[in-house]
A and B are shown apart, each in its own frame.
Chain A
Amino acid sequence: MEQFFKDPSIYTFVRGPLLWLAFLVFFLGIFYRIATTLREAKKEKIVYPYLSLRYTLRSLFRWLIPYGSISMRRHPWFTAITFLFHICLIAVSLFLVAHVELWYESWEIRWWTLPVSLADGMTLIVIFCIILLILRRLFQSDIRFLTSSSDYLVLTLVALPFITGFFAHHELVLEYKTMLTIHMLSGEIMLMAIPFTKLSHMFMFFLTRAHTGSEFGAVRHSRDF
């Protein structure tokens, strides 16, 4: 932040105030979305009375471990891709040395980091998975039928920080600092987009699964997986 006031430039802006803003929007956005959803769910009357912790957990467990549901077992490739994709995506975002360094610079906190080469590989996996996901949207008929341009946009939103990060790290295409600026900018845009686009599935997943898991398990005595 101070850096930006001392030396206002696009880089320091992206590194300072915008980052703040992005996190603010991200967290407040998530909070807002969850809060409004929970409030609206009250109007449904039949959501809360049937919620069951046990069956919510059962449902989450089944869907968070690879191949825990019949659906995942029926789609082995897609499941592999999505799990790899999500794991790498989250791991790189949280445990990349460069990211953790930033936290340290600002807050003097640090945590475990990924070995650089592994992080690099994971970044490539994320990019590769996104390409597969795009190909799938383009060529698998049932998914093409469902897909609209916004789905590609969302994929692009996710892809950009990884591509630019990779480029910056290896000093490809553009000069390091410019690329880094673009990387941070795209990352911030993605963060801010999460609560308000389909990326909200990141947290909505827990809400919908709680409802459906409880409804299937506690009320209907059958499986939702």
Chain B
Amino acid sequence: MEFKRKPVTDIGIDETLKRFDEDKIKRAIDWVLNREASARLKVFVETCMRCGMCTTSCHHYLSHDQDPTYAPAGKVKQTIWDILNKKGNVTKEDIKKYARIVFSECNLCRRCVQFCPFGIDIAYLLSVVRRICCLIGAVPQYIQDQALSHMQTTNMLWFRQDEWLDTVQWLEDELKAEIKDAKIPVGKKNAEVLYLAHGLEAKYMTGLLTNMAKIMNVAKIDWTVPDTDGWDYTNKAFYACDFETMGKIVKTHYEVAFRLNVKKIVMGECGHAFRTGIYEGVRYLGWKESPIPYIHGVHFFYELLKEGRIKIAKKIEEPVTIQDPCNIVRYRGMGKMLRYIVSQLCENIIEMTPKDDHNYCCSAGGGMIDAGPAWKSARIEGGKIKAEQIKDTGAKIVIAPCHTCHKGIEDLNEYYKMGVHVKFLTDIIADLMEIPEEMKP
């Protein structure tokens, strides 16, 4: 079986490779294999029995007419096994192929790990290859750009400091039209909750931030947002396995929290940032767990509803289905909380099969959407099975509590004509919740 792909150009990979000699490649590989990776890499590679139990677990394989080059172990074979077989003496063409596989054909969703009799962490193996690409610099241009922005600004979109502050201030003014004396406290010391936002919510998706602020105000949460860098919870450097930057971002988030003396950090609906905020980034820094609670939007809403801090005025009647984002469900078991929230908001829930922690990835995660337009068709193709899965439910609304799932499924919706609306919980809750009389302007 051959590795057949349509040609794609991405200067982040192609141009970078032109600028280096193969020496650099060897050095990067030796570094990662000898200094960074250790027992897990060795044991996982040696223990794989090539049994193929993982094959059908991967949505890329299923969406590509069962092409073995898309199967989980197949991707491992074509990358890390290849590197090991060649003892690190690989060509630029090889790197190009590896980069393509690890950045555009695997979402690091870890579904395959659930299917392997040995629990071999295929996503980890492929991320080792991402790390090698990162050290060479062969990373998709769009991810690289965002990582470069993160390195200095800690946000993903080269936002200047005043742009954040200014945005929050005008959002507060707008919110006052809906909620009397609404506030978005900035840099307020000793608040209970430090809320971090998605970079895009400060620019293109401000409505989402406003809606979160609305919920905070109605639920009477003692909250604040940062007055400095560190307001953006995204961590795109993680996609490149640029651990240096990833660690710095997570460190900044917790340091803002310590400086403001808050009790916990709450973030919105995003998968990868939750993952870096409680696992990857935290572990890189030496913490076993997050030093203070780092609460995902789903968890936060669950508590608000359970404790009755917000009341839902009416429910959605149209059929809805639930997208389980890998990073919070397979990675944190939030499926039950998510279902509780949705049951409070919607009358008619039709589940996908498989669901919960066995759900398929949206095919946009793990950096595939952040890899940019060049790789869009890769994720659209890989998402065929997701599109079918959603179509089969007959639902009109897909609730996707993750920025990446959200945009990924919107793109699938357009391409596969699924005829659904993709929604965030934040928007639905802000829409459906009761606003007490005294809060109305």
Residues on A lying within 8 angstroms of B by beta carbon are: 37, 40-41, 43-47, 49-50, 59, 63, 69-72, 74-75, 78, 82, 137, 140-148, 151, 198, 200-201, 204-205, 207-209, 211-213, 216, 219-225
- A198: which of B1, B46, B61, B279 is its contact (CB, 8 Å)? B46
B52 & A143 in contact (Cβ 8 Å cutoff) = yes
CB-CB < 8 A to B68: which residues of A? 141-142, 144-146
- Is the C-beta of B117 less than 8 angstroms from some C-beta in chain A? yes
Q: Across the interface, which residues of A come within 8 angstroms of B113, CB to CB?
A: 212, 216, 224
Are the CB atoms of B53 and A44 closer together than 8 Å? no
- Residues of A within 8 Å of B49, CB to CB, are 198, 201
Chain A neighbourhood of B419, CB < 8 A: none
* A71 and B114 in contact, given A200-B47, A221-B332, A222-B357 (Cβ under 8 angstroms): yes
Which one, A40, A71, A72, A144, contacts B39 given CB within 8 A? A40
Distance between Cα atoms of A45 and B39 in the complex (Å): 10
**Pairwise interchain contact A145-B38, C-beta atoms closer than 8 A:** no
Contacts A142-B68, A200-B47 given; does A47 touch B114 at CB 8 Å: no
Closest A residue to B288 by CB, please name it.
A49
Secondary structure at the A interface, as helix, strand, loop or mixed, is helix
Q: How many positions in chain B have a CB within 8 Å of any CB in the partner chain?
A: 47
- Max count, chain B CB within 10 A of own CB: residue among A78, A198, A220: A220
A201 pairs with B114, CB closer than 8 A: no
Stretch from B70-78, B244-252, B338-346, B424-432 at the A interface:
B70-78
Question: Within 8 Å CB of A75, what residues of B?
Answer: 53
For residue A71, which residue of chain B has the nearest CB?
B115
Closest CB pairs A-B (n = 8): A221-B333, A212-B119, A40-B39, A145-B68, A71-B115, A146-B50, A222-B357, A41-B39
Given contacts A37-B39, A212-B113, A222-B331, contact A70 B52 (CB under 8 A): no
Binary flags per residue of B32-52, CB closer than 8 Å to A gives 1, else 0:
000000111011101101111
Contact of A70 among B1, B114, B330, B331 (CB under 8 A): B114
Q: Contact between B40 and A145 (Cβ–Cβ < 8 Å)? A: no
Contact sample, A vs B, 28 pairs, CB 8 Å cutoff: A37-B39, A40-B42, A49-B288, A63-B117, A69-B117, A70-B354, A71-B114, A71-B115, A71-B116, A142-B73, A143-B55, A145-B69, A146-B50, A198-B47, A201-B118, A204-B43, A204-B47, A208-B118, A209-B119, A212-B118, A212-B121, A219-B279, A220-B330, A221-B332, A222-B330, A222-B332, A222-B333, A224-B114
What chain B residues lie within 8 Å of A212 (beta carbons)? Answer: 113, 118-121
Residues of A within 8 A of B69 (CB): 145
B119 and A211 contact, CB distance less than 8 A:
yes
Q: Check B363 for interface membership: any CB of A closer than 8 A.
A: no
Q: Which residue of A lies closest to B1 (CB)?
A: A145
- Which of these, B56, B116, B333, B357, contacts A74 with CB under 8 Å? B56
Q: Is B332's CB under 8 angstroms from A201's CB?
A: no
User: Contact partner of A142 among B74, B279, B335, B357, CB < 8 A?
Assistant: B74
